[in-house]
């Protein structure tokens, strides 16, 4: 039987009235190859892509403002990690407005005037928020450039899917754990399919898909919960599995471990003492439910926890694992120990 595999790139999502023009209003494509370095810019959206560009341009000296419609940046990350990142970015001089939305853009000759307004209810007296800093109402901000980082749209148009059993939801093709669509012999991988929209996830999907098409018997299904996510900002952010909140919402009784970078000799020697490693375990079974990190080189370290989740290791096996010294990875061990009241170097 002949099989068809779709792997088509997605495109940046545009918002009504804020369509990118490649000059003043950018998507990630223009942000990667600017004609000149802007002195100021507004990043709309604080997911991984938005924060990565915000961090990069801030490190290059640009005045950067991030607007996020939700009540915190990096909203898919664990709440503690989001708060840590927020403070770190503001310390670097980045301006962050959560609970705000862009209501309009006016293009000038070589700048953009943006209108902002609260997207969430105003805070109670004494609570800090972007809305309060804005005086409780709308405001205007003029910047050299605007980067739209509000997600992606699957390129599902003109594929001839009409009249087939291929199901499309919110511009993305629905697939099973083998990357197969509802139409027999038709597969889809990558950004055309569901979240997370990550290069390493797409690559792994391709392997699974081709092995399945080839009829191999030992094909392993894709487990989205075991896919690590990385945000390449400064400080770096990485995670795998459930956040503490999500674990509790799923009915788990949890044990949570934390270890600060300040307690690690390698981090201090590197001049990177600011960071956090957080682990979430099922209190009854010892299963590692999730791991969340912020700090130097956490995008390298997260794979250790990804292996632990794939191998279904428990807290006992992780605690009995010997971590080399002096390394940043020792913090991974300490966080596990902390979850069960056995931390050593706190």
Residues belonging to the active site: 325
Q: Which of 268, 286, 282, 25 is nearest to 143 (CA)?
A: 25
Token look-up 């509000």 returns: 150
Q: From CA 119, how far away is CA 276, in angstroms rounded?
A: 30
On the CB side of 211, CA atoms within 13 Å amount to 15
On the CB side of 289, CA atoms within 13 Å amount to 25
The CA distances from residue 246 to 177, 229, 255, 317, in Å, are 22, 16, 13, 24
H-type alpha helices, the chain: 28-32, 48-59, 79-91, 130-133, 199-213, 244-249, 265-269, 298-310, 315-319, 330-339
Tell me how crowded residue 144 is: count the other CB atoms within 10 A of its CB: 19
On the CB side of 340, CA atoms within 13 Å amount to 19
Token couple for 66:
């991030």
Q: Rounded to a whole number, what is the largest CA-CA distance in the chain?
A: 66
Token couple for 265:
């000799």
Q: Which of 282, 326, 295, 331 is nearest to 81 (CA)?
A: 295
Give 329's strand partners.
Answer: none
């Amino acid at each position: 039987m002949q099989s068809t595999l779709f792997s088509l790139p997605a495109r940046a999502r545009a918002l009504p009235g804020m369509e990118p023009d490649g000059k003043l209003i950018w998507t990630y494509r223009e942000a990667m190859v600017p004609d000149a370095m802007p002195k100021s810019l507004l990043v709309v959206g604080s997911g991984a892509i938005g924060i990565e560009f915000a961090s990069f341009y801030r490190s290059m000296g640009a005045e950067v403002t991030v607007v996020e419609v939700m009540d915190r940046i990096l909203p898919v990350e664990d709440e503690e990690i989001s708060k840590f990142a927020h403070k770190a970015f503001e310390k670097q001089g980045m301006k962050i407005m959560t609970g705000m939305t862009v209501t309009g853009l006016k293009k000038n000759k070589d700048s953009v005037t943006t209108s902002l307004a609260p997207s969430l209810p105003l805070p109670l007296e004494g609570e800090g928020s972007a809305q309060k800093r804005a005086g409780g109402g709308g405001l205007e901000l003029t910047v050299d450039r605007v980067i739209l980082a509000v997600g992606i749209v699957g390129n599902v148009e003109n594929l001839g899917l009409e009249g087939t059993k291929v199901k499309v939801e919110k511009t993305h093709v629905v697939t099973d754990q083998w990357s197969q669509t509802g139409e027999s012999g038709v597969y889809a991988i990558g950004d055309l399919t569901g979240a997370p929209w990550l290069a390493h996830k797409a690559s792994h999907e391709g392997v699974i898909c081709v092995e399945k098409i080839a009829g191999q018997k030992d094909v392993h299904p894709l487990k989205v919960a075991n896919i690590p996510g990385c945000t390449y900002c400064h400080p770096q952010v990485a995670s795998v599995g459930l956040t503490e909140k999500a674990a509790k919402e799923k009915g788990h009784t949890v044990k949570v471990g934390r270890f600060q970078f300040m307690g690690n000799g390698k981090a201090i020697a590197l001049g990177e003492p600011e960071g956090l490693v957080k682990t979430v375990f099922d209190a009854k079974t010892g299963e590692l439910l999730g791991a969340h990190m912020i700090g130097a080189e956490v995008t390298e370290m997260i794979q250790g926890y990804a292996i632990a989740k794939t191998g279904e290791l428990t807290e006992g096996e992780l605690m009995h694992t010997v971590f080399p010294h002096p390394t940043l990875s020792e913090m991974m061990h300490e966080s596990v120990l902390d979850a069960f009241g056995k931390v050593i170097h706190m």
